[in-house]
Amino acid sequence: MKERALALLLALPVLLASSTAAADPGGDFQPYKPGAATEQVSAPLHVVLAYSLIWLVLLGFVASVWRRQRRVEAEIREMRRQLERTVR
């Protein structure tokens, strides 16, 4: 499950790029239409999305490192206990 989520996150930029390429393969001339495409997008929404995403991804990264660190430290404690037992 965790690996699938990670794979999805890593694939996101590639999927985004390839889906847009498929939608517009030729790059043909498009006559200018006032009020088309660029006007339909909410700039504040995109800015908030970008800012939130930066925070979410970085917090997710910190949480992931913290979780992995705890797991490795637990493994180290267990191995030290086993080593002490073998010494006795």
Distance in angstroms (rounded) separating the CA atoms of residues 37 and 35 = 7
Contacts (CB under 8 A) with another protein, residues 37-66: 37-38, 41, 43-44, 46-47, 49-51, 53-54, 57-58, 61-62, 65-66
Q: What is the DSSP letter of 34?
A: T
| Length of the chain in terms of residues written | 88
Q: What is the DSSP letter of 28?
A: -
Which amino acid is residue 29, in one-letter code? F
Give the footprint of another protein on this chain (CB under 8 A): 9-10, 12-14, 16-17, 20-21, 24, 36-38, 41, 43-44, 46-47, 49-51, 53-54, 57-58, 61-62, 65-66, 68-69, 72-73, 75-76, 79-80, 82-83, 86
